[in-house]
Amino acid sequence: MTGFDESERRMWSGRAGAYADSFAALCAYTVPQLLDAAGVREGTRVLDVGTGPGTAAAAACARGAKVTAVDAEPGMAELARQAAPAAEVKVAVLPELPFADGEFDAVVSNFVINHVGRPRDALAELRRVVRPGGSVAVTVWAVPPASGQALLGRAQQAAGAVRPPELPPLDPGHDFSRDPQGLVGLMESAGLHGAGCETVRWDHLATAEQWWGGAAAGVGCVGQIVLNQSEQVRSEIKRQFELLCPEFARPDGRLALPHAALLARVRR
């Protein structure tokens, strides 16, 4: 396990509920396209890797698929069991999954590859557990981020927040360009040849309170940066956030936050 992986385990420990109440709705947007890309339908043996609160697993069950789901965080796995009672849910950590070679017809992973310390090895493991002729589909956040995705980071920068040392960046030797060419190249290096990739764009709707709530609860890297500041800096981040929110305000009072993600799919 890399230092990045250790940081991720600490970051998400005990925060399943806070994630489900905040950023989970954002990540749910790509689930239908992800399942379509992997060809998930009735009878498909599908593995959902990094299931979180079980959004993709539940959607795959609704299609009549035979679903197995895993997550590294036990709290997430418990939420997934509640959301998708027909699925088999286990606690497991990439890049080592407790399944046989070629056990699944399709493997999906929604915003997970950006949370592992060895992305190439993680993708190689997804390739291992899908049968020849089966499909792998993944999403990651695009870089540079869309304006809605950058909102909290802008507030932190304006407030002078400093990234704490216990949140190490991904080792440059394992990193990749977060654009279609970069993700396809990463998949090629993992033995997933012939991948296609598209950019998915949408406006996520949330109240300012909902969007700030995830960060204030320490969800994700952006939330951990907030929690690791002094009380004075945290207050200034909140003030800067409130100053920036009108850029995204709708007439109904909610924020329309532009986001962009990469969706890649490949047939083994």
Calpha distance 168→174 (Å, rounded): 13
Question: What residues pair up with 68 in beta bridges, in sequence order?
Answer: 47, 88
Closest CA to 200 of 37, 57, 49: 37
Specify the pairing of strand 66-71 against strand 104-110: unpaired
pLDDT < 50: residue spans in the chain: none
Total-model pTM: 0.95
Q: Are 65 and 86 in contact (CB under 8 A)?
A: no
Query: Distance between CA 153 and CA 144 in Å, rounded?
Result: 12
- DSSP letter assigned to residue 118: -
